[in-house]
Structure 1
């Protein structure tokens, strides 16, 4: 007996009497299925300018009604000159609140920063340093990660903005496109040309919209600081991560205050075209798919199921894709990453990074990270500050009269804090060749 192709077996099974319309009625389901997955469709569309590949998105996908709504809302809520900023907000390319920022030199405190700061503090991006340096050995309930980001190159903004690009998870589009093509072939085999046209319509509609978005340009806009302002050194603070920013005020502002925009050729008219195409897809599929044959409806639903699953996965991984793409806007800063065993170790590293080459008071940095009022912390912080102010090339710990008032449990905590400071201090000196530089 000859072997039949999988497609022949599948379509043959669909046309068998067991799958007759008397047993299955998918008319309603095939019509309303395109209304599911709206938010995932918008999130997947927002990734197109980050991928920059014109072949992405050429698949029959559900949720286009949500895309229509976001594009129309963008047009209604902004003028033609402001659409790019509003579009970035609507698609989620901008708009998330970043963490608290403390500028160590100017003393400026921002309770909330902008989207790029959110990406830095929440992403898995580590720059060229793939493996963080482990600092300290003890097991602490508050381990922290600390990143030192040095802006050695100018962060380009406006029309000079570097194009953000990412390739993470881009293979999923191939799966969705292949499934839609296979669904079209299945409809052609059973001669259901109505379902064939509806699937093809979805592929072309989504493909054109994705193509237009993939040619869009994301730009970074920032406020220019006043002349004579000090360097913008400071730190982004979250519960389990600290990001040290070192560089010119203008470059640091790009992270803390920068706004992202998505510019399309043709401006608002291009948005209107995308909205019309997506609306046409939703309307026609909603009106005509219930009249397709059972095999055609199943093929249609299969294409929606696979493409919807791809959109849902991309939506869940959106921040990961964005971080890998948007951080390239910072023009490849130098990054050093530490995995500190405790908050105390992270505080010492932050002090050294912000205070060693500046006149920033170390105590000011410490009090933003750790509690310095309890007696063990107060004694410990005074020795940390003293070492940094004296530019000691190794951590010096001595006897202090204030230790006589400590209870046993406080003495034990102080001993652990001193070990943390030793580990952080020695590691920082080693990594930055400070010891060698001074002796030479």
Structure 2
């Protein structure tokens, strides 16, 4: 007896089991299921302008009610003319708080920076470097990564903003689309035209809104500094990473103070159109889906399950996709990344990066990263400051009043700190000479 194909088996099973199915239905489940995954749906929806592909999002996805809420709230919070800034905030494209920033030349301290600084500080991006350069041999409980970002090219802003693009996980929506199309085909095979129409409605409505969003234009807006201000050199400082920014004040401002906006053709009216389409999908599916047959409801739930899995994965990797996309706004700066074995090593690297070619006091940088008041640290910091001020290509160490009062334990710590400083200095001079 030949084996039946999966499709013919499914059809015969549906015909022979109608009596048993009459005692079991998914009416409530199929209606309520469209409200699951709202946060993930908003995250996936917000990533569309970074992918820039109009074929993304063509699948029957749950959670559209959350998208409706965010879009309507965006429009109602203020005038249409300012919707772009509010839209970026509502969809999570802006608004995250970046780390502390210390400007080495002007002395300005910002306790919190803006979204682009957050992305830069938390990304795994290292420019053209495949691996960070390891500096120092000491095993320390506080290793740090230090990244030097040189803005050699001007960072375009406003209407000249470079389009942010990412290819991370860009093929994943194809799986959800294939699952939704397959669910439609199965509904046709059992002649459940109502379920077929509801799944198709989800595909079309989600596809249209995603296509509109994929054509959105993300722009970077920055404050224009006053004439005559010094260079914007400084550092973003967090517990495990230091990001050195070197460049003109306006380029550094784009990272520390820049605002992101999402502009759509048609402005706020386009936002309302997307909200209306998503609301129509939610309403019709909520009203009519419970009247579908059991196999049709199963196919509907299956399409939602695959779609919500796709959205959840994209939501979990939102920071990764954002970082790969938004960093393109910086116009390919030159980057050098170091993996410092200790916080002291990172502190010396930061001093060299910010003070070697300027008149910035090294003490100002050191005290933001390491403690310099304890005796051993005080003696070490004096050595570091003196050698950097003199711009010595070989660090010279000698005893002074600060080293005379150290006990054996402090002497041991000082020697370790000196080794850290030597390693940082030698590596920086090597890279600086090559450059």
TM-score, shorter chain, exceeding 0.5: yes
- 1:83 matches 2:55: no
- 1:156 matches 2:156: yes
Separation (CA, whole Å) in 2 of partners of 1:247 and 1:47: 30
Distance 1:9 1:349, change over 3 A: farther
Separation (CA, whole Å) in 2 of partners of 1:86 and 1:11: 50
Separation (CA, whole Å) in 2 of partners of 1:259 and 1:19: 61
Task: Structure 2: state its 5+ residue gaps.
Answer: none
Q: 2:343 — aligned with what?
A: 343
RMSD: 1.3
Q: How does 1:78-157 map to 2 (within 5 A)?
A: 78-157=78-157
The list of structure 1 runs, each at least 4 consecutive aligned residues, that deviate by more than 3 angstroms after superposition, is: 1-16
Task: Structure 1: state its 5+ residue gaps.
Answer: none
Q: How does 1:350-389 map to 2 (within 5 A)?
A: 350-389=350-389
Distance 1:24 1:377, change over 3 A: same
* C-alpha contact (below 8 Å) 1:149/1:336 kept by paired residues: yes
Q: 1:198 — aligned with what?
A: 198
| 3-state SS in 2 of match to 1:20 | helix
Separation (CA, whole Å) in 1 of partners of 2:14 and 2:26: 13
Deviations 1:76-110 (A, max 9, x none): 00211100000000000000011100000000000
Deviations 1:174-200 (A, max 9, x none): 100000000000100000000000000
TM-score by length of 1: 0.97
Q: How does 1:408-427 map to 2 (within 5 A)?
A: 408-427=408-427
Distance 1:416 1:205, change over 3 A: same
Distance 1:23 1:136, change over 3 A: farther
Q: How does 1:233-382 map to 2 (within 5 A)?
A: 233-382=233-382
User: In the TM superposition, what is the alpha-carbon distance from 1:344 to its structure 2 partner?
Assistant: 0.3
| 3-state SS in 1 of match to 2:21 | coil
| 3-state SS in 2 of match to 1:167 | coil
Separation (CA, whole Å) in 2 of partners of 1:28 and 1:323: 40
Q: 1:176 — aligned with what?
A: 176
| 3-state SS in 1 of match to 2:179 | helix
* C-alpha contact (below 8 Å) 1:195/1:297 kept by paired residues: yes
- 1:37 matches 2:20: no
Separation (CA, whole Å) in 1 of partners of 2:19 and 2:234: 66
User: In the TM superposition, what is the alpha-carbon distance from 1:165 to its structure 2 partner?
Assistant: 0.2
Separation (CA, whole Å) in 2 of partners of 1:430 and 1:218: 40
Deviations 1:301-352 (A, max 9, x none): 0000000011011011001000000010000000000000100000000000
Separation (CA, whole Å) in 2 of partners of 1:11 and 1:126: 55
Distance 1:58 1:400, change over 3 A: same
Q: 2:227 — aligned with what?
A: 227
Deviations 1:351-395 (A, max 9, x none): 000001100000100001100000110000000111101111122
Separation (CA, whole Å) in 2 of partners of 1:412 and 1:381: 15
TM-score by length of 2: 0.98
Q: 2:66 — aligned with what?
A: 66
User: In the TM superposition, what is the alpha-carbon distance from 1:123 to its structure 2 partner?
Assistant: 1.1
Separation (CA, whole Å) in 1 of partners of 2:6 and 2:120: 47
* C-alpha contact (below 8 Å) 2:38/2:62 kept by paired residues: yes
Distance 1:410 1:291, change over 3 A: same
Separation (CA, whole Å) in 2 of partners of 1:352 and 1:18: 78
Separation (CA, whole Å) in 1 of partners of 2:116 and 2:10: 48
Q: More deviation in 415-424 or 248-257?
A: 415-424
* C-alpha contact (below 8 Å) 2:14/2:190 kept by paired residues: no
Q: 1:399 — aligned with what?
A: 399
* C-alpha contact (below 8 Å) 1:394/1:429 kept by paired residues: no
Distance 1:78 1:17, change over 3 A: same
* C-alpha contact (below 8 Å) 1:57/1:177 kept by paired residues: yes
* C-alpha contact (below 8 Å) 2:378/2:402 kept by paired residues: no
User: In the TM superposition, what is the alpha-carbon distance from 1:16 to its structure 2 partner?
Assistant: 4.5
